[in-house]
Amino acid sequence: MIRFHLDENVPTAIAEGLRRRGIDATTTPQAGLLSADDESQLRFAHSQGRVLITSDADFLRLHDRDMPHTGIAYSPKGKRAVGELLHGLIMIAECLAPEEMQNHVEYL
């Protein structure tokens, strides 16, 4: 099953909503990564086998530079309500296998 990691730009309500539905989700503060650079965040998520959830377009540039990752779920900041993001992430968790997210960006 897909597991998620939220960077510090994503509301913690997303992690709480995912957990209520039995989906494993960690946050940047829980992982001790507050103020860590984007590469460190992506490396952490990759090392844990987690899809990174972000609204930071810098992660798309890391993807374009072929930095390995376990998947990125991206939504531009302020474009979607928490409920919409949560629905999209639940769909990812229910419909995609972890191997399908390898080095893949899913736009929400």
Q: DSSP states of 13-62 as a string?
A: HHHHHHHHTT--EEETTTTT-TT--HHHHHHHHHHTTEEEEE--THHHHH
pLDDT at 107: 97
The predicted structure's pLDDT at residue 68: 97
Output the tens digit of pLDDT for each of the chain's 108 residues: 999 999 999 999 999 999 999 999 999 999 999 999 999 999 999 999 999 999 999 999 999 999 999 999 999 988 999 999 999 999 999 999 999 999 999 999
Q: How far is CA 107 from CA 22, 32, 79, in A?
A: 22, 26, 11
What pLDDT does 78 receive?
Answer: 86
89's tokens: 């992430």
State residue 24's pLDDT score: 98
Place of tokens 């913690």: 12
CA atoms within 13 A on the CB side of 39: 4
Looking at domain 3-107, its CATH class is alpha beta
Q: Please tell me the total number of residues recorded for the chain in this structure.
A: 108
Rounded Cα–Cα distance for residues 13 and 28 (Å): 13
